[in-house]
Chains A and B, each alone.
Chain A
Amino acid sequence: MATHIEMPKLSDTMTEGTVVRWLKNLGDEVEIGDEIAEIETDKATMAMEAFDEGTLSEILIEEGGKAAVGATLAILRDEGEADAAPEEEPSTEAPVPEMASDPPAHLEPVALEAKGPELAPEPTVEPATEPATEPPSSPVARPTTSRRIKASPLARKMAQTNGVDLAGLTGSGPGGRIVRKDVVAAMGKADTIESTTESGRVAVSTPVATPEPALSLEAGDQRIELSSLRRITAERLLASKTTIPHFYLHTEADAAPLMEIRRQVNLQAEASHGNKYTVNDLILKAVIGALQAVPSVNATFQGDHILQFGEIGVAVAVAVEDGLVTPVVRNATTKSLLQISREVKDFAARAREGRLLPNEFDGGTITVSNLGAYGVEAFDAIINPPQAAIISVGSIVEKPVVAGGEIVPGLRLDLGLSCDHRVVDGAVGAEFLAQVRKLIEKPALMLV
């Protein structure tokens, strides 16, 4: 009986994955629990573990190849039947979506141990270009065939990424080794590089709806390859902005009571084990309270129906070196301010190190994006699908306000709300935003 090993769904936004590396070779015995391959998702690189045993008899997706969630990657056979004809034609197409939404039962994602941030997204962005564009005899694609070319790992990687044929280069390093600067020099004089990589990129799913015509490079221009994170961000935000009918609301809140309560709480930081609360922590708490009051915002548009979530999961936008990630404070209604504050601090720290786990991005029902720290007074955010709303928080600004006919100094905070009009109508969005403002202006209400 042949067992199909299928591309597992390792994160809630994963639609396809890349086989970074096979950890087993053809003919190898696979035991239950063996790590058989490394799979790169849009979020991380994970090891795929076998829940069946057998002999690895066919590999359908080579290293560097992409496959849709649910597509067959390889086939295991029982001992002795490795040469038997396949019982059925293995499908490399994804099965119907409802099957794809659950990982196959015999696979379980396992986070790779000791995986540093430096390893996660970058090294495997380009392999899709490899099999398509390299002639079979090319030493770049098949370094073990023909004669061995002496090149540093960095030079090899750069050559592969940029479509430079190492066989044509003379190494300037010790013992004639091809090093980085030799590849850089070759890239500088080869006009063909651009066309090579452009054609190679066809295999990669492009984030833009229509491919842009290639621009000719001017001196000083730099080609920046898309990381997985950048590509998925581009795809999802393009889909959001072009398929979700956004509308935008803004309101200005009096931030003085919030700042005062924060000051009081942080004076007692010793009592909360040294935790310092941020303005954002309190805003998150207000958003959670407002969602409980106006639960129709805590929902998603599902084509023929609206799904209103029972739990609240607040996704928090965190800027990282190569983009933006949105880890989720799940079951938010059950969490204390201290728990929320610590969780977000932990997310932010680990996000910057690339150490968030895929399941930490799951379960978001609304997103909060805060650019206050950058001095942005107000902005409009793009909805993080499949959610129906995103809150954009500006900076707290000291400005004149009119109170009782007098101009007095005030501390003001702009709150923006971008809504999916299919789910949230203007009045509902306004009611929700007013609730957030109320809790910010009367933070004591968050206690009751």
Chain B
Amino acid sequence: MRELLYRHALCEALDEELARDENVVIMGEEVAQYNGAYKVTEGLWDKWGNKRVVDTPISEAGFIGMGVGASMLGIRPVMELMFWSFHSVAFDQLVNNAGCIRYMAGGLINVPIVVRGPANGGTSVGATHSHCPEGLFAAFPGLKVCAPATPADAKGLMKAAIRDNDPVFVMENTKLYGTRGPVPDPAEGEHLVPLGRADIKREGSDITLIAHGRSVLHALEAAGTLASDHSISAEVVDLRSIRPLDQEAIINSVIKTSRAVLVDESKPFNGVSSQIAALIQEHAFDHLDAPVKRVCSIDAPSIYSPHIEDEQLPNARRVVEQVLTIA
């Protein structure tokens, strides 16, 4: 299969959806003439022009509010947050408006927006640019959240997100934009990854590693080390969607292996992994042969110093260490 960069897979998804549906519009800061701060929208303005790819002022509250309003009238805006860390200045639009209107309107008004951008640490850009808010937004009924780990999932989830009639927040990752991986050729048909379906990225029998986003890569690396150095067969469950959450895939894998380590770049307090741990004890208690362990970002604002930040975030070594405490 052909290989694409993660950012090019996203761009291909946007391009295909722009072509498929004339109501799809890209909006955001520097997404048009500058081709996007991280070059995800490269070439789209040249190809589709001012009406379909729109540069906005530096006002997240303003342009996301505009997109929410436009979506109520049938437009399907895909809005880039240069960093998901900037969500907080548009919080009312994202949560109170996008997330609640369909419910408040008794189902008469849909908000089919996509908000996308990187949501990760690890690039030494400091605490205000390194938030992982996927668990935060997943806590609001009415919002959907996904976090693709691979180029193929990035493309498939982005297309599914654009076609979804509810607000979908796609959490990308600046550390993944330059990673390469197989992506099905459009000539072989539409590549869609449904929201709410996890993916077993590696089969195993002794322990389940549950992760999303870039943490999946750490989990896979750790699974390799566990197999080669410790004869432990780890299964890696990539959640892909945080909400809707594939509860069945999680529980089935834990029932199979009896042990789980959750790998999550969120902070440990009320992070995505907190929810997964609660689910596991609620639905698979009698199948657990060890306590559920977590590898999260260390609970402090993101650290500037590159070496210390590397250690603050989950990494394969920390995953292996946690596995060995219970295996």
Within 8 Å CB of A156, what residues of B? Answer: 286
B285 interface neighbour in A153, A173, A177, A353, Cβ under 8 Å: A153
- Contacts A116-B283, A118-B252: A155 and B326 contacting too (C-beta < 8 A)? no
B287 interface neighbour in A153, A179, A353, Cβ under 8 Å: A153
Report the bound CA distance from A248 to B289 in whole Å: 51
Contact B286 A173 (CB under 8 A): no
Contact B288 A174 (CB under 8 A): no
Within 8 Å CB of A180, what residues of B? Answer: 258, 289
Instruction: Mark interface residues in B307-327 (1 if CB within 8 Å of A CB, else 0).
Output: 000000000000000000110
Contact B283 A174 (CB under 8 A): no
List residues of A (152-210) whose CB comes within 8 Å of B's CBs.
Answer: 152-157, 173-174, 177, 179-180
Contact A154 B288 (CB under 8 A): yes
Within 8 Å CB of B258, what residues of A? Answer: 152, 154, 180
Within 8 Å CB of A152, what residues of B? Answer: 258, 288-290
Contact B286 A153 (CB under 8 A): yes
| Interface assignment of A400: CB less than 8 Å from any CB of chain B | no
Contact A123 B286 (CB under 8 A): yes
Instruction: Mark interface residues in A79-118 (1 if CB within 8 Å of B CB, else 0).
Output: 0000000000000000000000000000000000010111
- Contacts A116-B247, A118-B284: A179 and B289 contacting too (C-beta < 8 A)? yes
Within 8 Å CB of B285, what residues of A? Answer: 153
Q: How far is the CB of A403 from chain B (nearest CB, A)?
A: 43
Interface centre among B282, B285, B325 (most CB of A within 10 A): B285
Report the bound CA distance from A119 to B286 in whole Å: 10
Q: Which of the four size classes fits the interface of chain B?
A: 10 to 19
Contact B284 A174 (CB under 8 A): no
Report the bound CA distance from A197 to B282 in whole Å: 28
Contact A119 B283 (CB under 8 A): yes
- Contacts A116-B248, A118-B251, A174-B326: A157 and B286 contacting too (C-beta < 8 A)? yes
Q: How far is the CB of B320 from chain A (nearest CB, A)?
A: 15
Residue tally, chain A, CB below 8 Å to B = 18
B283 interface neighbour in A118, A154, A155, A157, Cβ under 8 Å: A118
Contact A154 B248 (CB under 8 A): no
Within 8 Å CB of A174, what residues of B? Answer: 290, 325-326
Within 8 Å CB of A353, what residues of B? Answer: 248
- Contacts A116-B248, A118-B251, A180-B258: A154 and B287 contacting too (C-beta < 8 A)? yes
Instruction: Mark interface residues in A129-158 (1 if CB within 8 Å of B CB, else 0).
Output: 000000000000000000000001111110
Interface centre among A123, A153, A156, A180 (most CB of B within 10 A): A153
Q: How far is the CB of B290 from chain A (nearest CB, A)?
A: 6
Contact B288 A153 (CB under 8 A): yes
Q: How far is the CB of A367 from chain B (nearest CB, A)?
A: 29
List residues of B (189-216) whose CB comes within 8 Å of A's CBs.
Answer: none
Report the bound CA distance from A117 to B326 in whole Å: 27
Q: How far is the CB of A168 from chain B (nearest CB, A)?
A: 19
Q: From A178, which residue of chain B is reached at the shortest CB distance?
A: B289
Interface centre among B258, B282, B290 (most CB of A within 10 A): B290
Report the bound CA distance from A118 to B283 in whole Å: 8
Report the bound CA distance from A155 to B248 in whole Å: 23
Q: From A177, which residue of chain B is reached at the shortest CB distance?
A: B290
Report the bound CA distance from A250 to B315 in whole Å: 66
Within 8 Å CB of A157, what residues of B? Answer: 286
| Interface assignment of B168: CB less than 8 Å from any CB of chain A | no
Within 8 Å CB of B286, what residues of A? Answer: 123, 153-154, 156-157
| Interface assignment of B255: CB less than 8 Å from any CB of chain A | yes
Within 8 Å CB of A155, what residues of B? Answer: 289
Q: From B247, which residue of chain A is reached at the shortest CB distance?
A: A116
Q: How far is the CB of B289 from chain A (nearest CB, A)?
A: 4
Q: From B258, which residue of chain A is reached at the shortest CB distance?
A: A154
Q: How far is the CB of A410 from chain B (nearest CB, A)?
A: 37
Q: How far is the CB of A243 from chain B (nearest CB, A)?
A: 37
Report the bound CA distance from A155 to B285 in whole Å: 11
Report the bound CA distance from A27 to B238 in whole Å: 46
Report the bound CA distance from A152 to B287 in whole Å: 9
Instruction: Mark interface residues in A385-423 (1 if CB within 8 Å of B CB, else 0).
Output: 000000000000000000000000000000000000000
Q: How far is the CB of B201 from chain A (nearest CB, A)?
A: 21
Within 8 Å CB of B282, what residues of A? Answer: 114
Contact A117 B248 (CB under 8 A): yes
Contact B255 A118 (CB under 8 A): yes
Q: How far is the CB of A276 from chain B (nearest CB, A)?
A: 19
Within 8 Å CB of B248, what residues of A? Answer: 116-117, 353
Closest 10 CB pairs of A and B: A154-B289, A152-B289, A157-B286, A180-B289, A153-B288, A179-B289, A153-B285, A116-B283, A153-B286, A118-B251
B: which residues have CB within 8 A of A? 247-248, 251-252, 255, 258, 282-290, 325-326
A: which residues have CB within 8 A of B? 114, 116-119, 123, 152-157, 173-174, 177, 179-180, 353
Q: Provide a sorted-by-A list of 24 A–B residue pairs whose CB atoms are within 8 angstroms.
A: A114-B282, A114-B283, A116-B247, A116-B248, A116-B251, A117-B248, A118-B251, A118-B283, A118-B287, A119-B283, A152-B290, A153-B285, A153-B286, A153-B287, A153-B289, A154-B258, A154-B287, A154-B289, A173-B289, A173-B290, A173-B326, A174-B325, A180-B258, A180-B289
Q: Can you name 5 extra interface pairs (CB under 8 A) apart from A116-B248, A116-B251?
A: A116-B247, A118-B287, A152-B290, A154-B286, A174-B290
